[in-house]
Amino acid sequence: MLLPISLANLALSILSKFLPSEVAEHHPHARPPPPNNALDFRLRHMHATTSSARVYFADLPPGGPGAASSTSDIASPPVSIRTSPMRTARPPSFAAIARARYMSMRGQSAALDWDEDDVLGPDVTRRETLLLLAKMTSDAYFMPGASGWYNLTDEWNVGMPVGWEPDDDGFRGYVFATEDNSTVALTIKGTSIPYIGGGPTIEKDKLNDNLLFSCCCARVTSGWTPVCDCFRGDWKCNQECVETALIDDSLFYPTGVNLYNNITVMYPNANIWIIGHSLGGALASLLGITFGAPVVAFEPPGERMAAQRLHLPSPPSTHHITNVWHTADPIAMGTCTGKLSTCGVAGYAMESQCHFGNIIEYDTVTNLSWSVRLTTHPIATVIENILSKPWAAAEEQGLEVPSIKRQDDCVDCFQWEYGNFTL
Ligand SMILES: *[C@@H]1O[C@H](CO)[C@@H](O)[C@H](O)[C@H]1NC(C)=O
Ligand SMILES: *[C@@H]1O[C@H](CO)[C@@H](O)[C@H](O)[C@H]1NC(C)=O
Ligand SMILES: *[C@@H]1O[C@H](CO)[C@@H](O)[C@H](O)[C@H]1NC(C)=O
Ligand SMILES: *[C@@H]1O[C@H](CO)[C@@H](O)[C@H](O)[C@H]1NC(C)=O
């Protein structure tokens, strides 16, 4: 039932947080154990999808990056991330989800027997946690050591795997894991969005983005070539038509499902976290609500409408999903709309505004006097200008990061009418 995909994952290896102290004493470079409630992650694999719609994984050498080229058996230091318990809901099986989606598409009830449980997730109330996760996600855009790469551990020396050429546009990222393989963090870079001043513009991505995040086939004006033929005149849109187009023409979600399944095969007993930026963040959220995985999504476009169009079952709670964004980013805020916007000029209609889960919103418009611009969307902006220093507005309230918000009353595309309209 799944479409073939083209993601490749890599893995990393974790370190020696739990090394007995006698052993640690014999390893002069071994680090002290991390503070309580932290997990140590090491890079294990790289992953990428290519236009051939396949997932590729490249392993990093055992013992951590750098081990292959080094005579030392001491692996590079791990990334230590603080954790906190979070409530998730997992579906009984992938087959049960597929069945529920199938029934929902036919208008039947699709209740699932969710298994609710507390798992360890990243402690998103800590600025340092968000900063580390943002850097891990940012690195999904770069080969180790390339300009733009954030050093998480040691210098890395790995070959360029499939899907990692600068112009490759599919999903890609890294797989990090703890030493005992109990927790795995999957990072996902989005497909290309043409930021002002660069980025490859790939028609396939534009099709995906416009199918997923526009109200009605990205028919912004009569002058646009819509990505599907569901417009029925006068703010009317055929609902079945937009759902069919999304399910038939977009590999976005099935690609992510295959990627996630691949990771569960590699790490059958792991608690899997998914971290993404932009489209990678939207994909992370869709996978997180499907599988009950803790998610941190940076600057994601609104994915709730896509989830409904894909007929994903609704879990009892979405508190395991955390969105982190700032108010000057028109993609996360869903304000990059209209033919004269920077998105519109580039041929994108990213019109959705509603997200699942919790939201940590940095009000850069008010607190930093930023103006709303597409150039504030990149993860590097979030790292350098927001997360790298204390956030005064949160500290005023005795917090490290802004307090959680929700969008439970959000409505997408309110000016549109959806139904079984004909022309
Ligand atoms: C990352 O590490 C490498 C090698 O240790 C070093 O040359 C480079 O300057 C570091 N980059 C940053 C941004 O710190
Ligand atoms: C963790 O998973 C890796 C595969 O990525 C495997 O080689 C290793 O033996 C596993 N370690 C443990 C402690 O299960
Ligand atoms: C990933 O999963 C897909 C199907 O879910 C499978 O066809 C493919 O061989 C797997 N790839 C790897 C590298 O495990
Ligand atoms: C930040 O903006 C909020 C309004 O969103 C305001 O209440 C707060 O005082 C501001 N804090 C700082 C430090 O600018």
Per-residue pLDDT tens for 109-157? 878 899 999 999 999 999 999 999 998 888 766 655 555 556 554 333 3
Q: Share the mean pLDDT of the chain.
A: 78
Indicate if 235 and 365 belong to the same structural domain.
Answer: yes
Torsion of CA 215, 221, 224, 230, to 10 degrees: 40
Is a pLDDT exceeding 90 seen at residue 294?
Answer: yes
Indicate if 180 and 131 belong to the same structural domain.
Answer: yes
Cα–Cα distance, 243 to 248 (Å, whole number):
8
DSSP per-residue letters across 290-328:
HH---EEEESPPP-HHHHHHTTPPPPS--TTEEEEEETT
Indicate if 239 and 286 belong to the same structural domain.
Answer: yes
pLDDT at 274: 96
CA of 361 to the centre of ligand 4 (A): 12
Indicate if 22 and 114 belong to the same structural domain.
Answer: no
Q: How confident is the model at residue 349 (pLDDT cuts 50, 70, 90)?
A: confident
Cα–Cα distance, 236 to 162 (Å, whole number):
43
Closest residue CA from atom 4 of ligand 2: 266
Residue identified by tokens 């974790």 is: 14
Ligand 1 closest atom vs CA 151: 1
Residue identified by tokens 């990072």 is: 187
Indicate if 89 and 25 belong to the same structural domain.
Answer: no
The mean pLDDT of 221-233, rounded to a whole number, is: 81
Residue identified by tokens 């979600």 is: 253
Indicate if 21 and 52 belong to the same structural domain.
Answer: no
Cα–Cα distance, 253 to 206 (Å, whole number):
15
- Among residues 192, 182, 172, 184, the alpha carbon closest in space to that of 46 is found at 172
Ligand 4 proximity of 403 Cβ (cutoff 6 Å): no
Indicate if 166 and 150 belong to the same structural domain.
Answer: yes
The mean pLDDT of 344-349, rounded to a whole number, is: 74
- Among residues 115, 90, 57, the alpha carbon closest in space to that of 292 is found at 90
| Ligand nearest to C-alpha 391 | 4
Indicate if 14 and 65 belong to the same structural domain.
Answer: no
- The single-letter DSSP state of residue 7 is B
List the structure tokens of 18.
């739990």
Indicate if 4 and 85 belong to the same structural domain.
Answer: no
Compute CA distances 342 → 22, 151, 190, 327, 375, whole Å: 59, 32, 18, 16, 10
- How many domains in the chain? 2
Structural domain containing residue 19: 1-32
Cα–Cα distance, 145 to 156 (Å, whole number):
6
**Residues within 6 Å of ligand 3 by CB:** 2, 55, 57, 258, 261-262, 265
Cα–Cα distance, 76 to 240 (Å, whole number):
52
Indicate if 4 and 72 belong to the same structural domain.
Answer: no
Q: Percentage of residues in the chain with pLDDT exceeding 90?
A: 40
Positions marked active-site:
278
pLDDT at 165: 60
Indicate if 179 and 228 belong to the same structural domain.
Answer: yes
Indicate if 5 and 99 belong to the same structural domain.
Answer: no
Identity of the amino acid at 391: W
Alpha helices in 312-420 (DSSP H): 330-333, 342-345, 364-367, 379-382, 392-395
